[in-house]
Structure 1
C-alpha cells in the first residue's frame, strides 16, 4: 500500500514539474485568433508556471487592448505604492462604438421611466474582479486566461456573448499585495517543485501578501471606502451599476471550491429575496462547469451575505448580484493537501472555469437580471417616496472635519447630501451650518442609507462571518436624528474640508480647542517646530469665549521664533489641519488663568510600534495609517526579529497592538525595563492579557468560560461561535475632565468592540474615565451572557510601572480606518499620558 501511495505522489509530483499549457485552461470547442498575443508571448512564461507580478499583468492587459478591438484599457488611479488600478471594458466592437450610449441606457434602469426601456435588446453588465487578497493569486492569474479567451476566442457562442454583454474586468483588486506575494512565491520556487507543507515557499514572512500597503484587508472596505483602491472600484461600480459582480478568493489548502449562495440564515434583511434566488440560479451554471472538469465544490454553507462592506455582498444592496468564489489555495506552485497534490495551475483553472460559467449565466439570464435591477430600483423609489419630507441630519457642532469625512463617504456612494440653510436644534442637539449635513431619504439609494445608518440588535442567526454592526454616525461619534427635509437646504456638489484660519494676530498667546479631528496633526507640527505648547486641564473663559478641557495654549513670548514668524507659521498650521486658532490678548480668564499650573507642558511624541510575528498586521496597519496618512506623525515600526537590538531610549511612547501569539521573553524584559525608566506603553485588545500575565499590570478580568449543557457534538461549533463578539457597538459613560477624553463634547461615547476581554473597574471612581453603561448595546450582536459581563466594565485603564505608565485599551479605537469617532482616544494617550 505504501508503495502505491509513493507511486501516486511521484506521478503527480512529476506532473507538477511540467510547465502548464494554455490549452489546459481553455475550452477546446473554440478556435482562437492567432493575431492576439498569448500571455507567454508577452510576460515570458506560461500562466501558472510562475506567479504573475503586477507589472507583467498590466503589460499583458495593455497588449491585449492594443491588439483587440473587443477591449479598451482604462487607468483609474494608483495604489499607495504607485501601481496602476486598471479596468478592461470587454464587449463586441460594435458595442464599443456606442459604449457611452449603452452605459447611459443601462443606468436608466435605476431611474424614473425605466419601465419604458426594452430590456430584451439591452446588454447585461458583468463586473469580474480578482485577488482582493494579494496572496490569493489564482484569481489574477486566471484573469489573464479570461482576457485572452474573450479577446481571441472565435465562434457563434462567444460572438453572442460579446454582443449581449459588457464585461468590466478588474484583474487585480490589490496590486500591492499581489506584487508582494508574487515576489515571495517566485523567489522561493525550486526547479524541482516541492509540495512538502513545511517548505518555506508556503510560509510567507509577516505581514504576508493578503493586505494592501498599510496592511488593510481591502475586502472589508467596499462600504467605508477609505483606501485608494476601494475608491477606484466603487466609482467604477456606480458608473456602471453592473448586474453581476464576482469576487474571486482563495481559502485553506485542504478545502475544495466554494461558490455562493452561502448560509441562508445569514443574509442581511435589506437584501431582497429575489437576489438570493438569482444567486442560486447562477450557481447551477457553476455546478455544470465544475462537474465537467471533475472539480470538487460546495455551496450553501460557511460564508454569508450580511456585512455590506464585502465585495460579494456590497452589490446586493445596489440592485446587483454579488458572487463570492473561494478556491482551495496552493499558496505557491504545488502543495500537498487532503485532496491530493494541489497545483497552482489547477487553482487557476477552477477560477477561470467559474469566470466563464458566470458569463454563461449572465448570457442566459440576461433579461431576467436586467428586469430584476429595474424592479429593485422601482421598489426603492417607492420606499423613498414613502419617506418624502423626511431626512437624516448628522453633525458635530465642535468638529467640522469629522462630519465632512462622513459626508464624503456618502457622496462616493452617490447619495445626495445637503447643507443646512442655517443653525438649528433638534432633540436637544445643535446642528450648525458647516458642521452638519442633511441626507434626504427620498432618493434612489435609500437602501444604502438604511444600511449605513440603521441600528440592529436582533438577528436570525448568532454566527457572523464578519462584523454585525457598522452604524456610521456612531462610528464617527456623531449626533444624528431624523428631521423634516423641507428647510430650504442646498444640495452640496462641491464638498470641501473646512478652511483653517488664525482669527487674530496676538502678542500674548494663541488657543485652539482639541475638538476638531485634525488637531493632533496641528499639535505635532507645532511641537516639531520647537514651539512650546501647553494643554489646559480645566474649562475656562476669555472675553465671553469658553474653552473646553484639552485646549492647547501657545504663548508668544520666550519662543525661539519671533511673534511675526509664529503668526505666519500658525496660519500654515491652521490651514493644513483645517482648524481655527484664536489669538488672545490677555492671560486673565474665568476658571483658570493661562499662567496657571493647570496648563501642562507638552513634549514632542516619539512613537514606536511593535510589528512582526505574533502581532496582528491589521491592527498595526490601522495605527500606521492613522499616524502616517491622517496626522502626518512619524511612527517607527520595529520588528520583533530585531527588537532586542533596538535602543528604546529615543522613544517616549510604545504601542503594543493586538497579538496573535506569544511574544518572547526578550520583548517582555526589555519593554518592562523601558517602562520602569519612564516610558509610556499603550496596549490594545489581546495585549491586555499578555501584559497581565507578564506582570506589567494588575487587572481583574471577568471570566468568559461557559459550560455546554444539552449541546451535541454537531452543535459544538455553533455553540462556541455564538459566544464570539465579532464586531458590535456599545455605549460607555465618560468623565470629560480626564485627559483620555479631551476633545469629546458628550458624556457618552460609542465604542466598537470585537473582543471578550472584560476589565473590572477600579474602586476609585476617578480611575474609571470610560465605563460601559448598564445598558450598553447600541447596535450589533453579542450573546446575552457576554452582554451581562460587559455591563459596568471599563475599556480603558492606566497603571503605573516604576516611573512609567501602562495604558490599556480592550477595544479597537482605529477599526478599519473608518472609526473616526475614537481615533482621538489613541492620540490623547500619546499626547497627554503624563497627566493621567
Structure 2
C-alpha cells in the first residue's frame, strides 16, 4: 500500500488531483475561500513555499473568513514575521476574550471551576521548528484551509468545541534558507537520485535559525526572539495540546508518540501525561494513518527527558506536547529502499496527523481540562511536602549576570522576590515544576541513553551561587529586570579610570572603548585604590585601567566615552586622581599591560560544526557587539591571515593539507592566538600542532584494556547480545552533563572569576590531559566533579577525573588556547562565556612560563 500511494502521487497531474489527494475527506469546501493551490498558483507539494507567501495566505484566510484571525507574536533575527492563525466558530472568535478568561481559570490553583465541557479546548498546531524539515509548514496551509473552508459536519463540530491556533513556521529564517535551496535545484522532471544537489544542502543547511541555533532546544533556554516571542504567547494562552512536527532520515517511516520512556528516575511531569494521555492520542494517530496506508513506529529513539523541546515544554505547563517525525524527501522526490518518496506524500502524513490531533483533543476535551487543572494544583501540593521552601541566589559582584538569570526565570513565569542583595524563588507556586527544572540536580537515572542532554539546571548554566532554604524572607516581588542593576554614575577625571572586570558586560565595555580608539590596560594583579568619590575599591584580576593623559583624546572626550559605555552596559567604573594603591600594584606597574584590540576570525563551512560556530557569532554579535570575520574553509588557501591576531576553530573535521597546516602553524607562531574548542582541540593535539596530550595517550594501555573490557578464560572478549549494542555503546557517549572544574583564578583566562570552583558543560568525549607545563592548566576537573546528568562510572573515574577542561599551550611566539568543553553552549552558558572572551581579549598577553 505504501508503494502504491507513492506511485500514485508521481502519476497524478498536480493541477487536477493535488487538492483531492489531501482534502477529499473534508468536503464540502466553501468555494468562496481560496485554497492554497488557488492562492499560490501551484499545488501543495509541487514546490517549497516561502514563508512570506505562507503568511500572506493565512492573512487572506483571516480577511475573507469570520472563522479566523491572524496575530503576529514576534519577528526573527532577519525580520520575518512570526504569526498564529486562530480558527474557531464565528461565535467563539467574537467571544474569544471571555473564553480565554474561562480557559485560564483552569491554570489557576486558587480557582475551583468544574465546567470542563463548556469551554472550548485550546489547541496549538505548531510546525517547522527545523527549517529544512519543510513538509509540516505545507501541512499547516492545508490544516488552516480545512478548518476555515470545510463545511463538513465533523469539522464544524471541531470548531464548536475548540480554538485552534496554527503556528505555520516557528523557524522562518531557516525555512527560507532551505526553500531557496530546494527550489533552486529542483529539476523538471524531478530528480530522485539521493546524490543530487537538491537533496544535499551546503553548510550550514536550513535546519537552524539565523545564528545557526537549533530552535527545538531553545524553549527552555529562550535565547532567540523566535523562542521568546512564542513563550510570551504561550504563557498568555496555555494551550491544552501542542504539536511539534519534524522530519527524519529518508529511509525511515513515521513516528508519533508515545515516546521512548523518560530517562529521569523520578520525572517531574505527571505519569498520567506520558502514559495515559499519549496512549489516548496515539490510538487516534494510528487509526488515521492506517486509513491511508502509512507505516509508522512509536516508543523508540525519541525521549522527552530534556524539557526544552517543543514537544516537552508544554508537558511542564499542564498541556500535552506531541512529537511527530516524518521520513523526509529532502527535496521534491527521492529514491529510497521502498521506492520513491515524494514531497506531497510527506505532507499528507503531517496533515492527517494534524487533523487527528484536533479530533483527539476535542474528543478528550473534558479529560484535558481536568488534567491541566490538576497539574497546577498538584504543583502546590508537591511543593508543600518537602522541608525545602525555596532557593536564594545572586552574585553581587556580577549584577548583569544575575539580571540575565532573573530574566530567564520571569520569562517562564517563575515568581522571584528580592530582599536586600538576595533574590529568592519560593517552591510553593504554580510553576513549581519549572523551579525544579532551574535548580535541582540529579545523579540517578532510569535510562542511560538520551536523545539530548541529561542535565539542564539553569542556575549552573549561569554559574549562579544559590542555596536551598527552609524558611523564607521574601521581600518584594520582582516583576521586571528594569532597574535591577545598580551602578553609581562615573565622574569625570583628569587622571585615570578603573573598570570592574568581574561584571559579565565588561568585555562589551572593553570593545566599546577600543572601537573608539581609547588605550585600555588590564591589571594582571589585584589592587586596592581610593577613588575620587572617597571610597576605597578592591579591584580584582583583569580590572581595566584607562589612563587619561596617555590618550589621543582630551579628558572631556574620554569621559564622554566612558559615560556612554556605562549608560549602555551598566558596569561599575571609578574615577581616580592618583595611581598610588593602598594595597597591591600601582597603576604604573609592569603588571598593568595595554591590551591590543582583537581582530578576530573564525573558520566556518564544510567540516566545521555550525552549532558551535553560531554560538561564537551570536555571543559576539548580540552581547559584545563585536564583529568577527567568518572565513569559509573553501577560501582557506587565499585568505590573508595577517589581518587577524585571533582565530577560532570550533569542533569539526579539519582535513588540512600539509601546506594549509603549515600556514596555520606559522600564523600562530608569529605571535597570534588560536582558540580551539571540543574536537578541534583533539585535532590540534593529534596533528602535533601543540605539545599537549589526550588522557588516553598518557594512560597505560594495558590497564585500560584490563579495566574496560571483560575477558573470558581464553582471553577473548566476553560475548554480548547483538540487540543490546546500540544501548551499550550509546551510554558511553556524553550527551550533556554538568561537571565542576578547579580554576586557576590568577590565570588571564580566568580573570573575572572569584571562585576557584565553577560548573562547565560537557557534551563530548574529548579528554584533555593536564599540561606538562605546571602553569598552563587553567581548569582541571575537580576530585568530585559530577554536578548533574548521566555519566558512566567508566567515564567518570577513568576519563573525567584525570583530565583538564582548559589548557593554554605555547607555539613559537604565539599560543593555542585549548578548550575541551564548549564554553558557549547553546548561547546559554553565561557562567563560562568569560573564559572564551578572556581568550579573545587577553590572549595576546598570555605568556606560557617555562624553565627553559
Which residue does the alignment assign to 1:828?
838
Does the aligned pair in 2 maintain the 1:257–1:297 contact within 8 Å?
A: yes
Q: CA deviation at 1:518?
A: 0.6
1:255-311 alpha-carbon deviations (Å, 9 max, x no partner): 100001111253671121100210111000000000000001000111001000111
Change (3 A) 1:488 1:620: closer
Which residue does the alignment assign to 2:434?
448
Query: Which of the residues 768, 775, 785 maps onto 1:759?
Result: 768
TM-score normalized by the length of structure 1: 0.95
| Aligned counterparts of 1:819 and 1:438: Cα–Cα separation in 2 | 21
Which residue does the alignment assign to 2:424?
438
| Aligned counterparts of 1:324 and 1:139: Cα–Cα separation in 2 | 12
Query: Which of the residues 118, 122, 136 maps onto 1:125?
Result: 122
Q: Which moved more, 1:438-447 or 1:298-307?
A: 438-447
Q: CA deviation at 1:16?
A: 7.6
Q: In the alignment, is residue 458 of structure 1 matched against residue 457 of structure 2?
A: no
Does the aligned pair in 1 maintain the 2:671–2:844 contact within 8 Å?
A: no
Q: CA deviation at 1:363?
A: 1.2
Which residue does the alignment assign to 2:686?
693
Change (3 A) 1:407 1:9: closer
Does the aligned pair in 1 maintain the 2:672–2:844 contact within 8 Å?
A: no
Q: In the alignment, is residue 548 of structure 1 matched against residue 529 of structure 2?
A: no
Query: Alignment partner of 1:782: what SS?
Result: coil
Q: In the alignment, is residue 816 of structure 1 matched against residue 814 of structure 2?
A: no
Which residue does the alignment assign to 2:93?
96
Q: In the alignment, is residue 635 of structure 1 matched against residue 628 of structure 2?
A: yes
| Aligned residue runs from structure 1 range 253-402, under 5 A | 253-266=250-263, 269-276=267-274, 277-386=276-385, 390-402=389-401
Q: CA deviation at 1:764?
A: 4.1
| Aligned residue runs from structure 1 range 513-592, under 5 A | 513-543=500-530, 544-589=536-581, 590-592=583-585
| Aligned counterparts of 2:317 and 2:5: Cα–Cα separation in 1 | 48
1:531-566 alpha-carbon deviations (Å, 9 max, x no partner): 111111111111332111111101010211111111
Q: CA deviation at 1:762?
A: 2.5
Change (3 A) 1:169 1:662: same
Query: Which of the residues 729, 735, 738 maps onto 1:729?
Result: 738
Query: Which of the residues 773, 790, 794 maps onto 1:781?
Result: 790
| Aligned counterparts of 1:525 and 1:333: Cα–Cα separation in 2 | 48
| Aligned counterparts of 2:12 and 2:521: Cα–Cα separation in 1 | 66
Q: In the alignment, is residue 186 of structure 1 matched against residue 186 of structure 2?
A: no
Does the aligned pair in 2 maintain the 1:741–1:769 contact within 8 Å?
A: yes
Query: Which of the residues 622, 644, 669 maps onto 2:662?
Result: 669
Q: CA deviation at 1:726?
A: 0.6
Change (3 A) 1:700 1:582: same
Q: CA deviation at 1:389?
A: 8.7
| Aligned counterparts of 1:440 and 1:180: Cα–Cα separation in 2 | 44
Tell me, which stretches of 5 or more residues in structure 2 are unaligned?
531-535, 697-703, 710-716, 847-852
Which residue does the alignment assign to 1:425?
none
Q: Which moved more, 1:276-285 or 1:668-677?
A: 668-677
Change (3 A) 1:620 1:570: same
Q: Which moved more, 1:106-115 or 1:464-473?
A: 106-115
Q: In the alignment, is residue 136 of structure 1 matched against residue 133 of structure 2?
A: yes
Q: CA deviation at 1:669?
A: 2.8
| Aligned counterparts of 2:12 and 2:269: Cα–Cα separation in 1 | 44
Does the aligned pair in 2 maintain the 1:388–1:441 contact within 8 Å?
A: no
| Aligned residue runs from structure 1 range 103-122, under 5 A | 103-122=100-119
Tell me how large the CA RMSD over aligned residues is: 1.9
Q: CA deviation at 1:692?
A: 1.8
Query: Which of the residues 49, 52, 64 maps onto 1:67?
Result: 64
Q: CA deviation at 1:13?
A: 9.1
Does the aligned pair in 2 maintain the 1:668–1:694 contact within 8 Å?
A: no
Does the aligned pair in 2 maintain the 1:126–1:168 contact within 8 Å?
A: yes
Q: In the alignment, is residue 597 of structure 1 matched against residue 607 of structure 2?
A: no
Q: In the alignment, is residue 147 of structure 1 matched against residue 144 of structure 2?
A: yes
| Aligned counterparts of 1:683 and 1:508: Cα–Cα separation in 2 | 39
Query: Alignment partner of 1:822: what SS?
Result: helix
Does the aligned pair in 2 maintain the 1:395–1:403 contact within 8 Å?
A: yes
Does the aligned pair in 1 maintain the 2:777–2:808 contact within 8 Å?
A: no
| Aligned counterparts of 2:448 and 2:182: Cα–Cα separation in 1 | 38
1:370-427 alpha-carbon deviations (Å, 9 max, x no partner): 111111111112123446992211111210011111111111111111122x2xxxxx
Which residue does the alignment assign to 1:791?
801
| Aligned counterparts of 1:113 and 1:598: Cα–Cα separation in 2 | 61
| Aligned counterparts of 2:656 and 2:285: Cα–Cα separation in 1 | 45
Which residue does the alignment assign to 1:45?
42
Tell me, which stretches of 5 or more residues in structure 1 are unaligned?
1-6, 423-432
Change (3 A) 1:181 1:191: same
How many equivalent residue pairs? Answer: 817
Change (3 A) 1:575 1:796: same
Q: CA deviation at 1:22?
A: 1.1
Which residue does the alignment assign to 2:754?
745
| Aligned counterparts of 1:35 and 1:629: Cα–Cα separation in 2 | 46
| Aligned counterparts of 2:151 and 2:653: Cα–Cα separation in 1 | 51
| Aligned counterparts of 1:103 and 1:650: Cα–Cα separation in 2 | 58
Query: Which of the residues 566, 580, 604 maps onto 1:611?
Result: 604
| Aligned counterparts of 2:357 and 2:4: Cα–Cα separation in 1 | 34
Q: In the alignment, is residue 240 of structure 1 matched against residue 233 of structure 2?
A: no
| Aligned counterparts of 2:9 and 2:634: Cα–Cα separation in 1 | 35
Does the aligned pair in 2 maintain the 1:403–1:437 contact within 8 Å?
A: no
Query: Alignment partner of 2:459: what SS?
Result: helix
Q: In the alignment, is residue 684 of structure 1 matched against residue 680 of structure 2?
A: no
Change (3 A) 1:287 1:146: same
| Aligned counterparts of 2:474 and 2:767: Cα–Cα separation in 1 | 48
Q: CA deviation at 1:672?
A: 1.5
Query: Alignment partner of 1:250: what SS?
Result: strand
1:110-162 alpha-carbon deviations (Å, 9 max, x no partner): 21354333102111111111010000000001100000000001122111110
| Aligned counterparts of 1:375 and 1:112: Cα–Cα separation in 2 | 8
| Aligned counterparts of 1:134 and 1:402: Cα–Cα separation in 2 | 31
Q: In the alignment, is residue 25 of structure 1 matched against residue 22 of structure 2?
A: yes
Does the aligned pair in 2 maintain the 1:417–1:440 contact within 8 Å?
A: yes
Q: In the alignment, is residue 208 of structure 1 matched against residue 205 of structure 2?
A: yes
Change (3 A) 1:106 1:457: same
Which residue does the alignment assign to 1:4?
none
TM-score normalized by the length of structure 2: 0.93
Query: Alignment partner of 2:775: what SS?
Result: helix
